[in-house]
A and B are shown apart, each in its own frame.
Chain A
């Protein structure tokens, strides 16, 4: 197998040490940081994502792979910057005010990172103004809002209203998710997209970037 194939395999198996060794070897052999990232690290994560969607592996396997991917990305960071390579996109994610649930949000974050996004996590119980400030400061391509309770889902609309009031709505695509959320609800509150689970959230975020 080639270095790139081995790198992809090492990510899928969550072997961080092997990932670092293979990156060193790859750079020494003249492979570009971009290829090592795209055709090694991200390809491995993408293949594992397919296996996850097919119910062949569980989340812990994906998380351990994501750790290995992050180690690899860190190792490549300096070279990627030097080569002028940018992340696929930037995302800001958070659970809305009054809601303390974070597992679903964390899963989405993990999937986004695996898909090559640079992700800023604002945490749980996030006030509207903090989302507004994050758009101003981080200039993300996508904002992802989570709510698990029927009594906090209304807050999703409130955040979007606050973003509109700040004149920032056109700058960012907004996705919403959480157990009580439906596609119809997402449309009603003016979101750009809704996804029912973590794996499809990353796909939707990618497609929103392409459409932008």
Chain B
């Protein structure tokens, strides 16, 4: 399937951009209709501290069995209408696709047992860890790293994983450098030039696997880019206005998956999902306060505004007083979803009130929250879709995000400290000075970016470096 450019938004009115409802819902074999009216828990989990090796594989599998049993039991106890269980493989499970597939088989088996026994409804999202980094990577789109990712997708899809997703890393090697220096041109190059280029190749391949296996190409996330910036901003390492700008620019990159055929749900840790939903109408997974087990964020409430799945990001399988941590985390997700769904069932006005309370409780306190407001997402999305070209969209996204933050600060809707204000100015100057074309920016980056290897993206080596 060739890439289809999105040139109009799915929402003209931000009042309709709300949790549980998407213009293009996704139906699963187990009867979930994601975006069809209900918000479902999207539970993610990982191992306790341990090495994943051939010797520890049976212990690894035992952990995943225990985790899934706890979750299914709690889903039945709470009468959850359904849920998505996400398997985000650890690097060794992608380097050895048969290990990742075996983990997937275990999770599917347990879910199958509980479907038969308790009547639960669940779908599995398979998210191979994107291993295309490091010294041994030959090329982004061929070689053993690529082959192992595809084999993990294919193997999991063949045995019943229904939603295919990834946190892809094309351009991340450049963005890691950009984020340390808050270098806006480099960030835009990483996200909307290299990132978009990689997304197109990667998602075309994932969609082919989905078509072949009768599964659903779901969505991506700019986790390695925008969440890295968010975490560094939380530690006061970089300005929040930079992290907020990266978030909006990352929407341009994540959109490419949908343009290549992904149907949703967009992946949980991609907070830019609200922009993807605004532009495309696909359902999205989001994570907020329930992801406190994994990381701090300034968007704990506002993230729920347009969520169709509600996620915990990830939790280790350790014992808490109430039971295994993933079981506890599932319970928290289930109660949040119950509240959101009760609001939807009462009336559209009640749901909108609840959505706006979620938005207003966060958006004044942090620019990263402000740019996730449904009204802001729709306003910026309307302008982005009118522009041709990923770089042009990335450039515009940065400018619009910075303008929106400045206006909100001036009107008292957004609090920023003095340090942030000066960075808002610096970044605005940088946005105004961006080159006219992607080619010019690529030339600049060839000269100045240490980590950029054009050969890995089949780009020509230019410049004197």
Contacts and interface: CB of A to CB of B under 8 A. Distances in A.
Interface of A: 55-60, 63-64, 98, 100, 102-103, 106-107, 123-125, 149-155, 180, 197
Given A123-B135, A150-B47, A151-B50, A58 B239 contact: yes
A150 B48 contact: yes
Closest 3 CB pairs of A and B: A59-B237, A60-B182, A100-B133
The dominant DSSP class at the A interface is loop
Task: Give the interface residue-count category, chain B.
Answer: 20 to 34
Contacts of A98: 51, 91-92
B90 A63 contact: no
14 contacts: A58-B182, A58-B419, A58-B423, A60-B181, A60-B183, A103-B176, A103-B180, A107-B180, A125-B134, A150-B46, A151-B47, A151-B50, A151-B90, A153-B49
A154 B180 contact: no
B421 to A, nearest CB: 13
B428 interface: no
A151 to B, nearest CB: 5
Interface string B262-282: 000000000000000000000
A178 B248 CA distance: 28
Contact of A100 (B134, B237, B239): B134
The dominant DSSP class at the B interface is loop
A149 B50 CA distance: 10
Contacts of A150: 46-50, 316
Given A151-B47, A155-B51, A59 B135 contact: no
Given A98-B92, A150-B316, A151-B90, A103 B179 contact: yes
Interface in B201-237: 228, 232, 235-237
Contact of B232 (A57, A103, A154): A103
Nearest to A57: B419
B129 to A, nearest CB: 10
A55 B133 CA distance: 32
Given A106-B176, A107-B237, A150-B48, 8 more contacts: A55-B236, A60-B181, A100-B134, A103-B179, A151-B47, A151-B50, A180-B49, A197-B235
